[in-house]
Structure 1
Amino acid sequence: MKSGTSENVIIEIGKSRGTLGRINKIEMISMMGGNYGKKMDRITIDPTVMNGQPCIRKLRLTVRRVVEAVALYPHREELYTEYPELEDEDIRQALEFAARNLESQIIPLEAA
């Protein structure tokens, strides 16, 4: 890897470790052992963009923000008004990415 470039990175997500690859076309297929099976080519991880947080198509829009926006705006029309750069496939992949990362975590909840 050349100094000063971010062409190739090693990505660690959950328990799985990715391989060297182009950060603008990360293909994650069943990385968490799920049976999702679709390519995740819209999620990008670049250390120079948003501190390396997973983003949508190298935009300054994180997967976390997309998931929060889906919860905040119950109707897609409102969501697209607020985030016109988003497409249906961006949202699908953001939700799938979040679900895959939760698979290997135990989140303690307090009893009601």
Structure 2
Amino acid sequence: MFSGAHMILYSQDADADRAFIKDVLGFDHVDAGHGWLIFKLPPAEVAVHPTDDEPKHEFYLMCDDLDAVLATMAERGVEVTRPVTEARWGRLTAVRLPSGSELPLYQPLHPVAHSL
């Protein structure tokens, strides 16, 4: 029924964040015209969590080895903005995008659905 999912990150400096995703993260992309890059993402999954607060949406890049990813990011001069937190279901942190916003990173410790 569906052929994919399209996520949008809103940015105060979209050109710099696009360059970061292209050059630092190394994501393949297409140019939709006039330098408007659309990136191929790794396999994805979606979860629905309950909340009593205002509903919101979150975007995380998942990885198998968070420590290795952070070492690579450090070599590329990327700022880690949150200490790694450990939970029974996963390990979380975030890195700084050029626009100043954060990009959360997540190493799941639970079964994943993205490769089904």
Does TM, scored on the shorter chain, surpass 0.5? no
> Larger % of helix: which?
1
TM-score between both structures, scaled by the size of structure 1: 0.29
